Every structure is written in C-alpha cells, then in structure tokens.
Amino acid sequence: MKLRTRLIISFCIIIFVPVLLTLATLWGFGRYQMKAVRQIYNIDGNAYDYFVNSFKVLSHFTKSDYEKLQKVAKKTPEKLQDHSYLEKVNGELAEKYSYLLVRKGTDLIYEGRDERESLLDENLPEYDSDILTGAGSSFYIEGETQALVKQIDFLFPDGGHGSIFIVTSMERILPEIKGVLFDIVISVVLILIFTAGMLTVWIYQGIINPIHKLEIAAQNIKAGNLDFTIDAEGKDEIGELCRNFEEMRFRLKESAEEKVEGERENKVLISNISHDLKTPITAIKGYVEGIMDGVADTPEKHDKYIRTIYNKANEMDMLINELTLYSKIDTNRIPYNFNRINVADYFEDCVEEVGLDLEAKNIKLNYINYADKDVLIIADPEQLRRVINNIIGNSVKYLDKQQGFINIRIRDVGDFIQVEIEDNGKGIAAKDLPYIFDRFYRTDASRNSATGGSGIGLSIVKKIIEDHGGKIWANSKEETGTIMYFVIRKYQEVIS
C-alpha cells in the first residue's frame, strides 16, 4: 500500500471511526436506557417522546401511585391517617425517587422525606389551589429544590380538608443521569484509546518496522558487514526503498568481492609473471656468463648462445606484452580498429606467416577454406591475428608428439564465419575444459618452465572474440588433441 494511501486511510480512521463508534455506543446506551425507562417508569410506546418532555416523564413516573391514592382518598380517606399504610405507600414511592406528604388543614401529619430533602412547606399550594396544571393534579417547583409535586385534595371523615403530595425529587434522579453520562464519557475515551492503538500498530508495522530494518542495515554496512538481507514485503514507498537498499547492498557486496578477487588475481599474475620471467632471465644470464667466461670458444657455439639469448628475450617481450594487454582488458581499454576484411586473403596471409615458424619446429600446417572467396568480415586485423597466434602458440606449447600437426579450417555458418584450429597435442582433461578461458587458470599446476605462460593468453583471446560479437569454445580429448572454435560475424551491407 502506498504511503500516501496509508496516510489518507489513517486520516479517515482518525475522523470517522471514533465518530461512528461513539454514535454506536450512544445508540446502544440509548436502547439500554430506554428499556430501563420503560420498565422502571412504566412507559408504553416510544420512550424518546417522554425524554423530549421531562415534565411528562416525571409525571408518568408516579402515575399509577397517584391514581391508586386518588381512589383511596375518595373511598376510604381514613386510611390516610393510618401511619403504617402511609409508610407502605412511601416505601413504594421511594423506589421511584419520590416521597409522600399528607397534610390536614395547615399541618403535615405525615412526612415521608428524609433529612436530605429541602422542600419548604410554604412552597406547597393550599387546598383546592388554582395553580395546578391540566386536571388539577401537578406542578413543578424550581429554585434550590427542584421537584415535581402531584396534589390530591380530599376530605377526612371528620370533614377536615386534606391534601396528599407525591413529590418526585430531581436531587435523587440526578445521580442516575450523572452515572449514565459518566459511562458515556468512559466509553468515548476507550474508543479513542482503541482507535489510537489500532492506528499505532498499523503505522508501526507499515512504516516504523521497515525503517528500523533500514537502520540496522545501515549500521551493518557502516561496520563493513554485507552478509545480510533486507526483507522488502510491502509495495509502498518504504518497500521500494527497502528493495533499492537491498540492491545497493548486493552491488556493494559484488563490488567488494570483485575487488578481493581482483587483488587475488593480481597477486597470481605477479607471481606467474615473476616465475615465468625468472626462467628466461636465468637462461640469459647463464649464456652471457658462458660467453664472458669463454665457454663459447667457437663461432658456432657463440652464434648458438646469441640466438638462445635472443629467443629468451623474445619470450620476455611476449610476457610483458601479455601483461600490458591484460591491464587494458581489465580496464576495457583494448584499442580496436575495425575494418572490412576478406576472409580468404586474410587467413592465407596468416597461414603463410606462421607456416615458416611451424616448419622450423617440425610441425605440419594444413589450411582449408570452405567459405567463398569474396566473404567479408568486420574485425580488427591486428587483434584477430593476436587470437590466431595465441591459439597456435598454445598448441605448439603442448605438442608432445614426434610429428605434430596443426589444421586450420574456415567454414561458412550462416551469418558467421567459423574458424577451427586443431592440433594433435596432449589434449585437455574434461575437468579442466570448462575453465580454460578463465583468467590465470592453468591446467599445468606444477607450472614447469617447459610450458610456462602467464595463464591469461586464452582469457585475452576470449575477450577479443566477444568484443567482435563472436563466441569461442573448445573440444578436446586427452592424448589425442584439441580443437579450438571461434565465430566472427560476416559483413552484410544494409540496403535502405
């Protein structure tokens, strides 16, 4: 979920959820209270109508008791002088937050109120007063004492004026209302706490947790530890940030590993070059000392020593050239000069050039071109010659037969020209074949001076062929020989 969407939802939850839950709570309390009102106040129909008119609900509250006392006052007024009867009636009224007063003449003969009630006697209307409402039964007293008073006037058996007052005290009902309001306030507070807690958990899981993971990841990177992963679960901005951070960590780890591998390869290269330079240098020193000491005491021996020194110097030059080219490969700075090259003419020149050297080494060279004579390729002639010379040089280095041979075949394979260079050397073991184009890989673990080599020749060949848009591979069988294959794309004119 997008962060913007999450914030919008959070805003809506903050605004609407508390309101909706509060309304639901008020509705629930209302239903509960209305049910209680119907039971306690003996109200039929819609209780909300009574709450709109508080006078109506208070009047209805003691309606049945009022009607009962009216009958008693009319038929058996003597009961209203019976203290035990009045106590019983007052007890029933007490359950309805009311109490009973009975007056004879101007004197109260029964008071059902307790010490908390502060209704003054002078507030009570006289017998047959005209302030009574409706059917002449009730009125409301305001001021310090708020109460609804219902009055029943009657005559005692001795003819004296009597009045019965049913007083419903607001002071008794108010604590109940306060209790309901307190419950509502507590409910609203709990709703707000619940909403805030829910939002906190949601935001913590969606934002704070990923940020905490990023903080830990940053501390790991700061400490140089790149061996960890960041789980990016969400699809929001934070999740995207985690994925980018994980990709950065992976790239940093790759870079660090490449740096370590590069340092290791450089050490291997220095070791290889040092070893391989040491062999011809030792030979040169030996032959020079022979000349200086007069060991080469004949013109023939002197010429032999000079030629050997020259050949060893050439070996050193070749190693240094490979080292220079390797540094260019490592920084992708091999200079290329691509041209259109006629395949037949180019390879005939190459074969003629290497043929004389191979003939001097008693190695037979065979060349067959199966492609048309007008086929062209796009290549750098100098770098392509380096490829051919490196492959043939490798073949010569590992020829172990009395009569060695090298076959060069050119084939047309659709959009490419395929070059095959075959020898009858000692071959390459199957376990070594997949790695021969890796830098510094040498099948000859002993690195004897007879074969030598820096271990980067075939890796240079692979790099040059791939930069030409081609591919190189090999097949070999031990004690039988090796065939090197590479393909170069043909030149095709684009007709617009």
CA distance 297 to 299: 7
pLDDT at 134: 44
Closest CA to 163 of 142, 144, 149, 143: 149
Residue 365 main-chain phi, psi, to 5 deg: -115, 125
CA distance 356 to 352: 7
Burial code (b: 16+ CB inside 10 Å, e: under 16) for 13-51 equals eeeebbeebeeebeeeebeebbeebeeebebeeebeebe
pLDDT at 418: 96
Per-residue model confidence as pLDDT tens digits over 452-479: 555 678 888 998 999 999 999 999 999 8
pLDDT at 20: 78
pLDDT at 262: 74
Tokens 């805030």 map to which residue? 196
Q: What helix, strand, coil percent values describe the chain, rounded to 5?
A: 55, 15, 25
| Reported pTM | 0.48
What residue type is 481 in one-letter code?
G
Per-residue model confidence as pLDDT tens digits over 276-322: 778 788 888 988 988 888 888 888 888 888 988 988 888 788 778 77
CA distance 480 to 123: 134
Under DSSP, is residue 236 helix (H, G, I), strand (E, B) or coil? Answer: coil
Q: What angle do CA 248, 214, 260 make, to 5 degrees?
A: 35
Mean pLDDT of residues grouped by 10 in the chain (496 residues)? 65 72 72 59 49 58 84 89 90 84 88 68 71 54 71 88 84 57 76 77 71 82 80 70 83 85 75 75 88 85 88 82 71 80 94 87 93 93 91 89 93 94 92 85 53 69 92 93 95 69
CA distance 278 to 382: 29
* In 29-97, beta strands by DSSP E: none
Tokens 């209680």 map to which residue? 36
Closest CA to 146 of 262, 54, 256, 258: 54
CA distance 271 to 265: 10
The Cα-based distances of 205 to 174, 234, 238, 246 in angstroms read: 46, 10, 11, 19
- Delineate the domains of the chain, giving CATH numbers in brackets: 76-114+122-174 (3.30.450), 240-333 (1.10.287.130), 335-489 (3.30.565.10)
Radius of gyration in angstroms for the set of CA atoms belonging to the chain, rounded to a whole number? 56
DSSP bridge pairs for 101: 111, 165
The secondary structure of 163-212 as a DSSP string is EEEEEEEHHHHHHHHHHHHHHHHHHHHHHHHHHHHHHHHHHIIIIIHHHH
